[in-house]
Amino acid sequence: MSGGSVEVSVVLPSYNEEATIENTVETTLDTLESFLPPNSFEVIVAEDGCDDRTPEIADRMAEQDERVRHFHSDERLGRGGALNRAFESANGETLVYFDTDLATDMRHLEELVESVRSGEYDFATGSRWMPENVADRPAKRDIASRGFNGLTRLFLRSDLRDHQCGFKAFDRTALLDVLADVEDKHWFWDTEVLVRAQRKGYEIKEFSVDWTPKGDTKVDLVRDVFGMGSQIGRCWWEFSVEPRITRSVSMAVGVLLTIIAVVLMGKYLPLGKVLTQMESANLALVGAAAVIYVFSWPLRGARYKDILEELGFTESVGFLTGAIFISQTGNLVFPARLGDGVRAYVMKARRNIPYPSGFASLAVERVFDLLTITVLAGVVLIGLTVTGQAADIVQAVTGAQHAEAARTAVYVAAGVGVAAIAAVGIIVASARSDSNFVRSFVTKISSDSYANHIAGIVERFTGDVQTVASDRTAFARVGASSLAIWSL
């Protein structure tokens, strides 16, 4: 069939559909034939890394009917990835897709196609949440769907009721324009396409459909929480927060954080007593201490540079020192070292370093900090023992005033040291192992394509941490700079 005569291309995203794909294709062809001119449409089976007989069946159908095409992938692309690939190669100017389980009543297909084919709308989507629709959803999926769509409308300012109904049509030019900005390749693809289309001002028709659930109705932790939830957060940040983070705003926030840090410092430290003690202190020693402290910052930047270079990123010491200063200031204000997240954001926004690598570099820093503290504590303990001053520590732990607090402090310090050493041992051992514990764990709790996506992110994080910890030269260099930093 000549591609030039095709007006409508219907894509069927398929993953292990051997039991239903043949009937789905035949039903689709029959329905299209009922309202479209002959040879004006094609059906594309966008097969997404199937491991059953779906590829074989799709190949046979494509050989027997020139209106059917089959796109094969050896690996999982995700639903969005499979659709992107098929739409880019489709011949029609009106692009359509729906779920292969035919959960949406096919009597709605003509309205879906003609809404876009007529030129009246750029996008059309079925909706299970319009007042007049018929949709028999299990309660657990009903709650999850309502929650997801509610969050999408709230945070992404969408006017649509149902973003995830697998029954959509697009004008080719409009869709390809939107896809240039769409990042998700999995289940959030539908939502991101519709939200970005609204932001670009395209006309969208949402109409009620009769829908009967088929197949998987489970709430998937990886897909529904980590996958879909994180994507709402990503888009909200891109649309509502990132445009407001200008250079002037960043400077203002930095000044504000500094002021808050100073105020909080005054709350937890008796400034009057501090100033009184400083008046009686040796100014030369105070000045020397200040100089040494200032010098420690570029040393921290140099250490962070070494860590990032092991991960394949090269940045200047000056920039990295500034990023560390920002995150440390944030840690004075935010609890639980949340300021470190600010540094990961700065590295992503300013230097395009992926979040997994950014957080991995922070994790490496923390591990080396704990190791260094453990080493220094051990050296001090040995020194006290050699000089005969260890009795003071023994007395504090066993029977002196405030003995309970002293014992707790020693136990905590010992626990931190053991944890740091154990962490390094586990990291190095896992780096030398051929077993993929991350992927096996994630795929145990989810069989969805998002599981591979999430596993890939976690694998990158752990792999980056292992890269530094398992390389002897890098370990020695970062360890030496850590000792210098904490000694200062």
Spell out the residues 6+ positions from residue 191 whose beta carbon is closer than 8 angstroms to its own: 152, 156, 163, 164, 228, 231, 232
- Beta carbons within 10 angstroms of residue 359's beta carbon: 20
Residue 360's nearest CA partner among 307, 306, 425 is 307
Pairwise CA distance, residues 309 & 401, whole Å: 49
State how far the Cα of 126 lies from the Cα of 139, in Å rounded to an integer.
20
Looking at beta carbons, which pairs linking 428-435 to residues 24 or more positions away fall under 8 Å? Answer: 428/466, 428/469, 428/470, 430/462, 430/466, 431/466, 431/467, 431/469, 431/470, 432/470
Write the DSSP symbol of residue 290: H
Cα 324 → chain centroid: 22
223-251 in b/e form (b: 16+ CB < 10 A) is bbebbbeebbeebbeeeeeeeeeeeeeee
Residues found in the chain: 488
Which residue in the list 99, 171, 184, 190 is annotated as catalytic? 190
- Residue 426: in which H helix or E strand, if any? helix 403-431
Structure tokens at 236: 């909200």
Query: How far is C-alpha 382 from the geometric centre of its chain's CA atoms?
Result: 45
Query: Which conformational region is residue 27 in: left (phi greater than 0), alpha (psi within -120 to 50 degrees), or beta?
Result: alpha
Helices (H), 269-354: 271-279, 283-310, 317-333, 339-351
392: annotated active-site residue: no
Question: Judging by DSSP bridges, how do beta strands 210-211 and 134-135 pair with one another?
Answer: parallel
CA distance 403 to 395: 8
Residues belonging to the active site: 190
